[in-house]
Structure 1
Amino acid sequence: MDFQVPIRIKPLDPLITHQDKLLLIGSCFTEHIGRNLEEAKFNVLQNPSGILFDPIGVCNSLVAYMENKQYAAGDLFELNEAWHSWMHHSRFSHPSAGQALAAINESQQQAHDFLKQADWLLITLGSSFVYKLKENGQPVVNCHKAPAQEFTKHLSTIEEIVTMLDGTIYRLFQFNPKLKIIFTISPVRHIRDGVTENNRSKARLIEAVHHLVNKLDRLYYFPAYELVIDVLRDYRFYDIDMVHPNYQATQFVLEHFKASCTDETARLIIEEVKRIALARRHRPFNPASQQHRQFLHSTMNKARELMELYPWIDFTEEMAYFESEWSDSTGSGFSSKQ
């Protein structure tokens, strides 16, 4: 008896490797994927402008990265004793306008340089709803708790979404001819818009993205939304807010992502990285015991072997931690011959 709807995910061609550079941009679900890939030692840059939800915000941010736009004081506004940018998440907000600008422009430069060399761009779209300032019609990516009456809310049409994404993709392929793009739709429910409105919003994103994937080469679709909504389809896979997928659901999506989007060597490396990460989190009953010293010795040697076998994987931080633990337990430096 089947308890899940079967889903067949066509593997990427080519598959992602640890030698690739991946830029991730979009909704909060992007950060779940990005954080996991980062922990698995992939070369990742995620959300240089902070969390973005709608296609216009994503496209405007990507254009700003390509142009290496540097923001000025006039691009900021003050609210609730902090300076903010309408084009950036509140993690860039700061009581000092100068410090807010410095963080924004440093991230812009990093995104420009990374995107120029990236092999993959993963775009996770969360909503078709766009918020614009009433005073000038400027789209905003974050309302920064400003009064609701300062904004208009617009549900983008499929045509508007396709036009915006199509133009941005054309520029991206000119900017970086080797770039490949993966689209996903966030399974996070935007219930504050209303259940029916959320479904209309998601449907427009899905239709627009599939139109582009079917039209253009080097575009792919990964069904994160379908994995949660249609395969798991149960509230036990959501957090208490009934909106955000929980840890189990996120891991389920990530396992499918790794299986269909990464190559065999990458998957082997991921498992080795997990073992070393678990070893780092291990807390011994007796740190000075011979058993613990042997554990540290074997783990350090394993990390060193992996770095020699895969020189593009960096275990410097882990090695420093284990060597520090070794010194504390033995009073001497580590040698692979010990």
Structure 2
Amino acid sequence: MQFHLNVPVTPLPATIQYQQELLLMGSCFAEEIGEKLQEHRFNTLINPHGILYNPLSITKALTSYMDGQVYTREDLFQHNDSWNSWDHHSRFSGLTPEAALDHIQGMQTAAVRAIDHADWLIITLGSAHAYVLKENNRLVGNCHKVPGGNFYKRLLTVDEIVTALDNMMHRLFFRNRKINILFTVSPVRYIRDGVVENNLSKAVLLQAVHHLVNKFNRLFYFPAYELVIDDLRDYRFYKEDMVHPNEQAIQYVWERVVKGCISEGSQELLHRIAELNRAARHRPFNPESPQHQQFLHTYAARVKQLMGEHPELPLDDLLAYFQ
């Protein structure tokens, strides 16, 4: 008997490879998968604006990279003793304008380079709900705990999401002739919007994404949302807040990403790196024992061998650990 629906993942016709550069944008689920990619030594830049949830804020950030935008003090506001940007996540806030701008502009410079050189842009859309400042109708990427009475909340339409992403992608494809775009919809359930409202939001995102994927040859869709919502489909795969997928669910999606999105040759290399990562997490009962010293010697030799075969991989930290 079969007790759950197995969601098929069709392998991408163009696959991700180690020699490629990746830029990830979007919700917190983008960061979860991005960290898995970084852990396995892919050349990855994750969320240069910080976590962004709605498609228009993500599009605005990507456009700022293509414009080479330089943020100034006029782009910041002060709230609760910190300086913040309406376009950025609170991780970019600082106690002084200079501290905030240094962090913002450092990542902005890295993102401008990534736009020109990336082989893959991976966009994870979180919510079709957007927040707009009442005083000037400005769309915000993050509310920074400013009281809710200062914002309008509205559900974006499929048409305005498609238009914004379409315009951004036309510019991007003209600027970077090799880039592919992989869309996902976050399986995080934003129930503070309401259960019905969350489902409506996800439906808008799915409709917009599939409209675009069917329009462009270099656009692809990975069913992260369906894998958690329809395949796992159980609260035991969520954290205690019943909103965010737990580590088991993230690992399940990651394994499907590897099989469906990463080239066979890169999968083989990924598994070798995963073995080294597992060895580095090993905690011995007696670190000074001859057995553990031999263990370290063996894995140091394996890291050196891999560094010789793939000098482009950042493995210095693993070598330092085992030595």
Relative to the length of structure 1, the TM-score reads: 0.94
Q: Counterpart amino acid of 1:251?
A: Q
Residue 217 of structure 1 pairs with residue 246 of structure 2:
no
Question: Match of 1:159?
Answer: 159
Question: Match of 1:262?
Answer: 262
C-alpha separation in 1, matches of 2:249 and 2:285? 33
Equivalent residues of 1:87, 1:141 under 8 A apart: yes
C-alpha separation in 2, matches of 1:9 and 1:203? 20
C-alpha separation in 2, matches of 1:316 and 1:14? 30
| Cα offset, 1:266, TM superposition | 1.6
Question: Match of 2:193?
Answer: 193
C-alpha separation in 1, matches of 2:10 and 2:315? 32
Residue 56 of structure 1 pairs with residue 61 of structure 2:
no
Question: Match of 1:327?
Answer: none
Give matches, 1:134-149, under 5 Å: 134-149=134-149
Q: Counterpart amino acid of 1:214?
A: N
C-alpha separation in 2, matches of 1:123 and 1:95? 30
Q: CA RMSD in A?
A: 1.0
Question: Match of 2:315?
Answer: 315
Q: Counterpart amino acid of 1:190?
A: Y
C-alpha separation in 2, matches of 1:317 and 1:154? 46
* Secondary structure of residue in 1 paired with 2:214: helix
Question: Match of 1:73?
Answer: 73
Question: Match of 2:45?
Answer: 45
| Cα offset, 1:73, TM superposition | 0.4
Question: Match of 1:118?
Answer: 118
Worse-superposed segment, 88-97 or 5-14: 5-14
Worse-superposed segment, 281-290 or 45-54: 281-290
Equivalent residues of 2:7, 2:230 under 8 A apart: no
Worse-superposed segment, 288-297 or 236-245: 288-297
C-alpha separation in 1, matches of 2:185 and 2:255? 17
C-alpha separation in 2, matches of 1:285 and 1:235? 35
- Report the count of equivalent residues: 323
Worse-superposed segment, 49-58 or 312-321: 312-321
C-alpha separation in 2, matches of 1:265 and 1:310? 13
Specify the structure having the higher radius of gyration (Cα). 1
Equivalent residues of 2:23, 2:46 under 8 A apart: yes
C-alpha separation in 1, matches of 2:284 and 2:128? 50
Q: Counterpart amino acid of 1:168?
A: M
Identity of aligned residues (%): 51
| Cα offset, 1:95, TM superposition | 0.8
Worse-superposed segment, 292-301 or 88-97: 292-301
Q: Counterpart amino acid of 1:69?
A: Q
1:270-326 CA-partner distances (Å, limit 9, x unpaired): 221122112222222333322222111110110111112222222111112222xxx
Relative to the length of structure 2, the TM-score reads: 0.98
C-alpha separation in 2, matches of 1:216 and 1:275? 38
C-alpha separation in 2, matches of 1:179 and 1:221? 15
Equivalent residues of 1:18, 1:312 under 8 A apart: no
Closer/same/farther in 2, CA of residues 6 and 288 from structure 1, 3 Å limit: closer
Worse-superposed segment, 94-103 or 264-273: 264-273
Closer/same/farther in 2, CA of residues 322 and 6 from structure 1, 3 Å limit: closer
1:8-37 CA-partner distances (Å, limit 9, x unpaired): 221112211111111000000000000001
Worse-superposed segment, 283-292 or 86-95: 283-292
Question: Match of 2:232?
Answer: 232
C-alpha separation in 2, matches of 1:141 and 1:23? 18
* Secondary structure of residue in 1 paired with 2:121: strand
Q: Counterpart amino acid of 2:185?
A: I
Equivalent residues of 1:123, 1:184 under 8 A apart: yes
C-alpha separation in 2, matches of 1:254 and 1:221? 15
For structure 1, list consecutive stretches of 5 or more residues without a partner in the other structure. 324-338
Equivalent residues of 1:187, 1:225 under 8 A apart: yes
Closer/same/farther in 2, CA of residues 288 and 6 from structure 1, 3 Å limit: closer
Equivalent residues of 2:186, 2:224 under 8 A apart: yes
Equivalent residues of 2:24, 2:123 under 8 A apart: yes
Residue 8 of structure 1 pairs with residue 8 of structure 2:
yes
Residue 251 of structure 1 pairs with residue 276 of structure 2:
no
Q: Counterpart amino acid of 1:139?
A: L
Question: Match of 1:90?
Answer: 90
Q: Counterpart amino acid of 1:287?
A: P
| Cα offset, 1:106, TM superposition | 0.7
* Secondary structure of residue in 1 paired with 2:300: helix
* Secondary structure of residue in 2 paired with 1:215: coil
For structure 2, list consecutive stretches of 5 or more residues without a partner in the other structure. none
| Cα offset, 1:265, TM superposition | 1.9
Question: Match of 2:279?
Answer: 279
